[in-house]
Amino acid sequence: MLKKALGGTIVGNTMEWYDVGVFGYLISTMGPVFLPEADRSVQTLFLLGTFAATFIARPLGGVVFGWLGDKVGRQKVLATTLLIMAASTFLVGVLPGYSSIGIWAAVLLVLLKLVQGFSTGGEYAGATTFVSEYAADKRRGFFASFLDMGSYLGFALGAALVSVLQLTLGQDTMEQWGWRLPFLLAGPLGAIAVYFRSRIEESPQFQATLDAQEAISKDAQATDAAAVKGPLGIVKAYWRQIIVAMILVAAANTVGYALTSYMPTYLTESKGYDEVHGTLLTIPVLVIMAVCIPLSGRLSDRIGRRPILWIGALSTVVLSAPAFLLIGVGEVWSTLLGLALIAFPVTFYVSNLASALPALFPTSSRYGGMGIAYNFAVAIFGGTTPFIVAGLIQLTGNDMMPAYYLMATSAVGAVTIFFLRETAGRPLPGSMPSVDTVEEARELVATQDENPDLDLNEMPFDDSYEPATPVEGIPAVPGR
């Protein structure tokens, strides 16, 4: 069940980042298609702004789909978000250009990206919630990190496809019709992904919460009052957790989107690389980083989420300036080394957010809390990173401004980690412990009173609970 849930969830994240990769790497190509009469810098800023507009719709999607995910279930909502996301990506590929319908081409592009952002608002929050609720407590970091491995592989897939098309078709053909092919491919890819996701069973921890609410008396219902009151109730009850999550997401995604969505444009517009080399240089770095993400996730299960996140934050502060100085040298080897220095902190950041952030919220409000915190942070800081740093460079004429921006956001993130509770190896709030084997369950019950990773007050017990017939070797402890 875990493998099926993990695979079905990864395909959605891969699909999401495939589109991010395709759009980011086609910015230089799509400018003349939608704004042929504008100069090059205006075309670039328009498409970077269109990319940022995707993230404007994310908070609304996070609120709506997060609320639905806590009400009707994770699986149904995740299937819906993936369907909308794939359809809107496909429709970008059939959009008429400026030569056919004038400025309305650009308007329709923005509208489709807004729809895409709305659906994506429920995607990552739901995926991390879903996998975290499926995974065993002692291996949650490892399994949840596969989501971001799939994300960056999807990005690399999109980048590789664009590079192949640029090499085989040429820039003129790409501007005429070749740019459409990666978006059109989202149709069949999305159909396959929806098929796999529709076969996933509901999260066992969420299903257990629903069953418990039905089984116990109305006077003693273990329903989270915040969840009943909807998004506003969640914000009021968990505003501290939401602030911590937002700052960490902002710090991580600022670096992540600088590496993925902005770097091809930076290499092309500021460093003189052509579109093909600006794309190709980032692909090996992304693939190596994706392979290393599960290793970082496994390490967090051993030494904790907070130490790994500190590595990500502090290494961003230390390595950002050298990274951009190396890229500024202009040689292929120095550019690759500079990109690797940026990818290093991203590996530690993203491998842990998928397991650390869902653990901030109880089961009945987890999807909603994640949807609010993650998407507002990404909308304000992550998706706007390419637009902001491009604007800073044009405003100041200083190519090092991206480095200073990354350093500032991660410095704030490093301080915020002090307020993050360590959750590695511990049950999710509002859920029973999750284990891999019966032997692990026996040990857990036998040592529950002195186990520092267990907080019985956070588990969904009720005075009226009658323990079922125990598994052989596990005593039935009243109230536990």
Q: Residue 184 has what pLDDT?
A: 92
Mean pLDDT for the stretch of residues 187-194: 84
pLDDT at 473: 55
- The pLDDT assigned to 217 comes to 44
**Average pLDDT rounded to a whole number, residues 414-429:** 91
Q: Can you give the residue ranges of every domain in the chain?
A: 2-199+235-419
Confidence class for position 379, pLDDT limits 50, 70, 90: confident
Task: Return the CATH number of the domain spanning residue range 2-199+235-419.
Answer: 1.20.1250.20
Packing angle of the helix pair 401-416, 239-257 (nearest 10 deg): 150
Average pLDDT over residues 137-165: 88
Reported as a pLDDT band with limits 50, 70 and 90, residue 6 is confident
The DSSP output letter for 426 is S
Cβ(130)–Cβ(75) below 8 Å: yes
Give the orientation angle of helix 123-134 with respect to helix 366-377, to 10 degrees.
140
Average pLDDT (141-150) is 90
pLDDT for res 480: 41
Could you please report the per-residue DSSP string of 145-214? HHHHHHHHHHHHHHHHHHHHHHHHH-HHHIIIIITHHHHHTHHHHHHHHHHHHHTPPPPHHHHHHHHHHH
Look-up of token digits 């609970």:
465
- With a cut of 90, say whether residue 313 has pLDDT above it: yes
Contact yes or no for 149/125 (Cβ under 8 A): no
Tell me 69's DSSP state.
H
- For residue 160, the model assigns a pLDDT of 85
The whole-angstrom separation of Cα 411 and Cα 405 is 10
The mean pLDDT of 58-62, rounded to a whole number, is 89
User: Residue 385: left (phi > 0), alpha (psi -120 to 50), or beta?
Assistant: alpha
28-63 b/e with 16+ CB inside 10 Å = b? bbbbbbbbeebeeeebbbbbbebbbbbbbbbbbbbb
The reported pLDDT for the residue numbered 242 is 94
Q: Give the mean pLDDT of the chain.
A: 84
Residue 55 CA to residue 49 CA, distance in Å, equals 10
% of the chain beyond a pLDDT of 70: 90
pLDDT band, residue 180 (cuts 50/70/90): very high
pLDDT at res. 325: 92
What's the pLDDT score for residue 277? 72
CA distance linking residue 19 with residue 92, whole number of Å: 10
Q: What does the pLDDT average to over 243-263?
A: 89
pLDDT band at 292 (very low <50, low <70, confident <90, very high): very high
Q: Has residue 429 got a pLDDT over 50?
A: yes
Residue 222 confidence class, pLDDT cut points 50, 70, 90: very low
Alpha-carbon distance of 315 to 312, in angstroms, equals 5
- How sure is the predictor about 98, in pLDDT bands with cuts at 50, 70 and 90? confident
Average pLDDT, integer, range 81-96:
90
d(C-alpha 87, C-alpha 433), whole Å: 38
- The C-alpha atoms of residue 63 and residue 384 are separated, in whole angstroms, by 20
The answer to whether the beta carbons of residues 380 and 72 sit under 8 Å apart is no
Flag whether pLDDT at 224 surpasses 80.
no
pLDDT at res. 49:
81
User: Which is more confident, 314 or 273?
Assistant: 314
